[in-house]
Structures are given as C-alpha cells and as structure tokens.
A and B are shown apart, each in its own frame.
Chain A
Amino acid sequence: MNMQIAITGRGGQGVLFLTRILTECALKLGLEVIASETHGMAIRGGSVISTLKVGSYRGPLIRSGQADLILALDEGSVDTYGHLLAPQGGLILNSPRSRTSPSIDATGMAAAIGSPLMANLILLGFALKLKKLFCDYSLAESVTKAISPERFKETNLKALQIGYSFSNPEGHR
C-alpha cells in the first residue's frame, strides 16, 4: 500500500491533529509512514500543509502531481497547494458550496454543534465515508479516542461521526 496524502488549511484549523490521527492509524495497520508538518510563523493564520506518505517512502514531502488525496480545510489552500494533486487523485473540500469536488460544509456543521474548531474531524469523517483513505472509520475512531485530550474527547468523536454520517446531495464519489 503506497498512498500520498496532503492535508491543507489555515493555521489554527487543526491540520496537525488530523496528521497525528492518520499517522497513528498507519502505525496501527503496520504500515510505514512519514509525515511533514508546518510549524512556526505560518501557524498564525497563514497557509499550512501536512504531507503524509504511507508505504515505502523515505522523504516526507510530496512532489507536484503526485498526491493521491488532498483533504482541504480551507478553499483558499487548494489554490496554494492544488498543484500537488495527481491527475487521478481525489480532493475533499470543506466548503459550503463547491460543485466540482466532493465537499462538506464542515465549518458550518461544526459551528452548529457549538464547536467551530471541530471542522477538521468532520472533514475526516466525510473522507472516511467516501472510502478515500488507507484506513477505515472504526480504526480512525479508536485512534481519535486514544489521542484526544480528555476534555475534547466527546466532541471530537461526535464531530467524526457527523462527518461520517453526512450524505452528499451532489452524489460525488
């Protein structure tokens, strides 16, 4: 199993937490994994990206046109990092209105449950529903449960579930 994934967004949207969940999932499956993260000044609201390579890779960065999947927490980040996507790769977007890609209004749904910062887990739940990842929902759920800080555990799991239960009216696959 070789899979190259980019997780993109703005600093503060929880890109790092999704990266942690997915690397732990790969470890649980006994897969090799290496992931690169953005820290430092960019996390003050700037563009951030994590790249995650599952399988027989040595370096953590993804070359243009090689990403199998991009999880975008912010539409603007697709303009910044969309060039990484492989021609046959999948893009899953947090947006209230996209028509071209599978999308979910994760920010709106997260605000509706009173936790706007949980959009990241809603997007992950949706990606799991679309079966675009190397792992399945139950594994991601158990990892989320294991690594969430106690006070966010319940809300995190709820957000993951909301994303997973979302049915996409546009019927994208």
Chain B
Amino acid sequence: MKKILLGNEAIARGLLENGCSFAASYPGTPASEILSSFLQMAAAEKSPAIGEWSINEKVAFETALSVSYAGGRAAVSMKQVGLNVACDPLMSSAYTGVKGGFLLISADDPGPHSSQTEQDSRMMAMMAKIPVLDPSTPQEAKEMIRLAYQISEEFEIPVMLRPTTRICHSRQGMALEAIPDPSLASGFSKDPQRWAATPRYRYTLHHQLNQKIEAIATKCGQDSYQRILGSSKAGQCIISSGVALAHTYDTLKELNLEDQIALYQVKMPYPLQVQAILAELVPFEKILVIEETYPVIELQLAMRSRIQGRLDGSIPPQGELIPDVLVQSISKFAQIPEEKKGLSPGKARRPTLCPGCPHRAAFYAVRQALPQGIYPSDIGCYTLGLNLGAVDTVLCMGAAISQAAGLYHAYRMKGEVPAIVATIGDSTFYHAGIPALVNAVHNGAKFILLILDNSTTAMTGNQPTPGLELLADGRRGKAVAIEDLVRASGVPSLTIIDPYQLEEITSAIKEADKVTRSQNGGIAVIISRHPCLMTPGAGKKQPSYGMEITEDCITCEICFRDFECPAIGLDQESGRARIDANLCSGCGVCAQVCPQEAIKRI
C-alpha cells in the first residue's frame, strides 16, 4: 500500500525500516521534521527506537556517533549550517570510523530560503572523505537509507544523506515496508589506538580512510550513476543529481529534447568512479553538469574542454536551480531558441512576528529605551525584529553575544561606548550562547543582553528546549533554567520580566544601561519571558482582550508602522487605524503603545 509522506517523514520512515535504534538532532529548516517524525512513527509502531533533541548539532552528532561506536545503528540530522557546528566531530569520526551503521543527514537549502548560506554539504562530505548520497525525490531519499547503512557497516565509515529543501518539504506517494526491531548496540569494544588515537595513529587512520573511500568508489561507483533518459547515441548529455535532476528530467521532456540529450543521474556524487564515468562520456561532444549548489561532481570530472556547468557560467554560480532557471540553461546548451519570457514573479510578502508575539513588545521596548543603540541579534523568529529596526547584525547561532562583546571592545578602544543591546532566543542561548556569555564576562565586556525566552524553539515548529521538562519523545526530563546558567556565568545583574508589561521592561532596559556603565558594572542580563503563542495551549492560558480603536486615533501609524502589529492596518474608509479581529490575538500590548490612548479594551 502506498502512503503520501513528506520528504522528512520519508527519511524518518527509512531510518526505522532499516533498523536505526537512535536518532539525534537540533531543529533547523529544512531538516526539523525528521526527528519528530522518527519518534512519532516509532511510538505508533511500538518500536523501542529512541531519540533526542540535543542542545546543538555538535552534541547531537557526538551522542549518536557513540551509539554507533557501541555497535548500534544510529543517525543524526541537521540543516546544512548545523553541520558547520558539527564539523569537528565529523572530520574526526571519518578517521576513527564507526561500528554500527551511522548516517549523517545534512539538509541543504539552495536559494537560500531559510538559511544564512546556500553551502553544499556534499563538499563537506568530500572534505571529510565520507560517501554522500543525493536523492532526487522523497521516495528516493527513503530508498537510499538502505544503501547508506550497508556502506556504513561494510566499510565502518559515516555516510551522509544530503537532501535539499525541495526533497525535505515535498510530498509524494511511496510504498511502506515493515519496521523491524532496531539494530541495538552490541557493546563498546575497547580499542584505544582507534577510538583514542594519538596523532601518530591518526596518520594510520587517514591511510585506512583513503583505502576505504577508494574501495567504496570501486564497489558502489558503477551503480551510483545511470542513464535515465535519452540514448547513448545522442550527441550531448547532462549529468545531474538531487532534485535538480528531477527538474531537469521534467524540463527535457517538456522541451522534447529526449532524443537530442541523454540524461544521467548520479546518486552518489562522492566518491565518484571517475575513470568509468569519463569512459562512458567519451561519445558525447558536449556535457552539461547540473547540480545544487556547488560544483561537486563537476570538479571531480576534470575534462574542462567538454564539460560545462557552474564553473564556466553555463549554470548560474549561485541560487536554486528552479525550472525557470534550468529552461534557460538547457535551451542554450541544446542551442534551441529560448522561450519568450512571460511575467516575472512579483515581490513576496515579507514575514512578520505573529500578532501577540512577545518578541515584538521586547523589541519595541529596546527601541524606546535606547534608540541610539547598536543591536546585535541572532538566529530565530526574532530575526524579524529587523522589521522594527531593532536588529543590526545576524551572523550565526550564538553570535549575538560574542558580537556584542566584540563591539564593546571596538568602542572601548575608541573611548566612547554606545549602548549595545544583544538579543538572543532561549533555544539559541542554550545552543551556542553559553560559552559566548562566559567568555564575555571573563574578558570584561559590558553590554545589555536580552534573552528572549518564549520557552520553545519557535521558528522551526515549536520543539522543546532544555529549559522545559518535556523531552522530544514526550518523556519528562530535567529542566535546566536559563537564570541558573546566567548566574553561574558570573553575570552581575539579572532581571526577569514579562515583555507584555511594556513600561516595566522599557525602564528595566534603561536601568540595565546604567548598570553596564557603572564602575563595577559588567553585563546586564534581562530575561524577557513570555510563552510563544504558537505553542499549543499557550494562547488559552493568557487573557484575550477584545480590542478596538476609538475616534481619538490621529493616524500617527505608530501601532502598525513602529510596533508593526500585522493585525493593525490603515482603514481606507475612516482614515484611522483599524484592528482586524480575525488576526488579533487580544494581547492588549498595543494599548500601551498608543500615545493617544485611542486603543481600548472592549
């Protein structure tokens, strides 16, 4: 029987169908649903497989890896920039190798749609010297997990599965197989020369790794590419992988180019069996490589005179290879006239913080209290504080705190320090903010840190954080309180406030600025605490007021321009601000924002 699954559900199902006993992850679009689906499906099938939301990707990687060290099948999933955080254990574990099958799922985001970069995880696999599989459909993603575990166990090596956004977040029908008992750990066998290798033995491990990757290319390379469209007698060919292959396939059929251009799919972009592929390519005059997002296959096929792709600009060197882009590149390659361009896509509506979002109140207070400040911020929903002018930098997870410290030192040397207000979410604070805070305290930085604690990982779908007792699989764990961590870091000043109390938090921010400038001052932390209204049940726990705008409104636009509540807009008929009752959460904060007191509870 076929069932429709989201790509991430297909990956979760594939893990369970292949005996994965333990999965760990940190949420991040487009990979977030893999772990939650894994645990839901395991529970529904009464499988003893377990998993966890880890504090960050490095910890997730190391935890899952150790299950494999002990002999069990394990997996770790993350988004591509999460792999940057887990890069350290990745590089080292390629050398040590694994015991139980170990699968690394790193989901890329060509575009990018929800990420800082559109980096290509396959390049990270190449750098680590581990095999990477590149599915072109959700169904293929599920099927590839079998091969991935086989390679991992036969060669004792981590294997990467690299889906992209359009695989993770596509839905497709596929056949389900039975879920066997998971392949549990047999026990850790001590082998210090391997698991605790000193540099001298690391050389030996590197040598072994090189032998493994060559053996994998020889054994699996032949099956990892195949012609899926057209004839080997065609004059030209396209080599492609991932979802770009799927869109290339559709485009070639739409343009009726099947006879003119042969299409090859590469399922394992690294390691390639380069000599065999080059031999297969001999008859073709022209070859185009289409892949996302970096030229991984292209770089390995060193035949510059005949191969086109990202490197020579035949494929744009950045950006997602959507069908509209491919149709142009392929038409040019096939030397057929490009289709007349139709309409262009219009401007997309920008996302905003939700009505009632506690972050909006906190950001508004920052702007009111210290309008001349510098505002380093971080990764999460609250990046949308941009819309309120309260976010000046967004670099990577946890950087708000280190950047605030760096800005302080930069200005300290100049002699005058402006107000510096860093904002970071609760989940991001746990993820990478703790070392940054300890470092800033230790090195004498002075700034205001606003920890926006909405008690969830909101942006990625409200996964629990270490601040809650709730665990990924519904069990109860130990909550680790942010305030305890802040105090233990040696921070001299800590306040906890509900940002819905706008006046209170505004004056707390002003007070914190004084603290940072006092003689013995240092970092002043304010925990701005109010639950995210998207957390199931949270909205019902707080009062919801019916709100209206009276005739006292003078259309100063503060409520919808500066406060930027999406439930408030300009009413063309009355010329005044108007609240859309369908969108309004009834939080009542806007009443505190209105200088005319024209916003009232009904």
Contacts and interface: CB of A to CB of B under 8 A. Distances in A.
Contacts of A82: 343, 346
Contacts of B323: 59, 61-63, 66
Interface stretch (A35-43, A121-129, A160-168): A35-43
Contacts of A63: 251, 254, 322-324, 327
A113 interface: no
Interface string A76-109: 1101111100000000000000000000000100
Nearest to A60: B170
B342 A58 contact: no
A60 B6 CA distance: 12
A33 B169 contact: no
B354 interface: yes
Contacts of B322: 61, 63
A32 interface: yes
Interface centre among A10, A40, A66, A77 (most CB of B within 10 A): A40
A100 to B, nearest CB: 15
A68 interface: no
Nearest to A63: B323
Contacts of B341: 64
A135 interface: no
B302 to A, nearest CB: 29
A80 B343 CA distance: 10
Contacts of B166: 36, 59-61
Contacts of B286: none
Contacts of B2: 27
B113 interface: yes
Contact of A38 (B169, B350, B353): B169
Interface in A8-67: 10-12, 19-20, 23-24, 26-27, 32-47, 57-66
Nearest to A27: B173
A27 B4 contact: yes
Given A34-B170, A39-B30, A79-B347, A44 B4 contact: no
Given A59-B243, A111-B582, A46 B459 contact: no
B344 interface: yes
Contacts of A65: 342-343
A37 B167 CA distance: 10
Contacts of B279: none
Contacts of A32: 173
B246 A58 contact: yes
Residue among B250, B347, B566 facing the most chain A CB atoms (10 A cut-off): B250
B582 A42 contact: no
B170 A40 contact: no
A32 B582 CA distance: 37
A45 B345 contact: no
- Interface centre among A26, A33, A44, A77, by most B CB within 10 Å? A44
A24 B347 contact: no
Contacts of B247: 58-59, 61
Contact of A40 (B29, B136, B324): B29
B249 interface: yes
Given A47-B348, A83-B346, A111-B582, A58 B171 contact: no
B459 A41 contact: yes
A44 B351 contact: yes
B190 to A, nearest CB: 44
B169 A39 contact: yes
B344 to A, nearest CB: 6
Interface in B131-155: 136-138
B239 interface: no
B348 A107 contact: no
A57 B250 contact: yes
A141 B237 CA distance: 46
Contacts of A61: 166, 247, 322-323
B114 interface: yes
B439 interface: no
B349 interface: yes
Interface in B10-43: 29-30, 32
B388 to A, nearest CB: 14
Given A27-B2, A41-B381, 19 more contacts: A10-B349, A20-B171, A37-B169, A39-B30, A39-B461, A40-B29, A40-B114, A40-B460, A41-B459, A58-B249, A58-B250, A59-B323, A63-B254, A63-B324, A63-B327, A65-B342, A65-B343, A77-B349, A83-B344
10 contacts: A33-B4, A34-B172, A36-B171, A40-B113, A42-B348, A44-B381, A46-B348, A60-B246, A65-B342, A80-B345
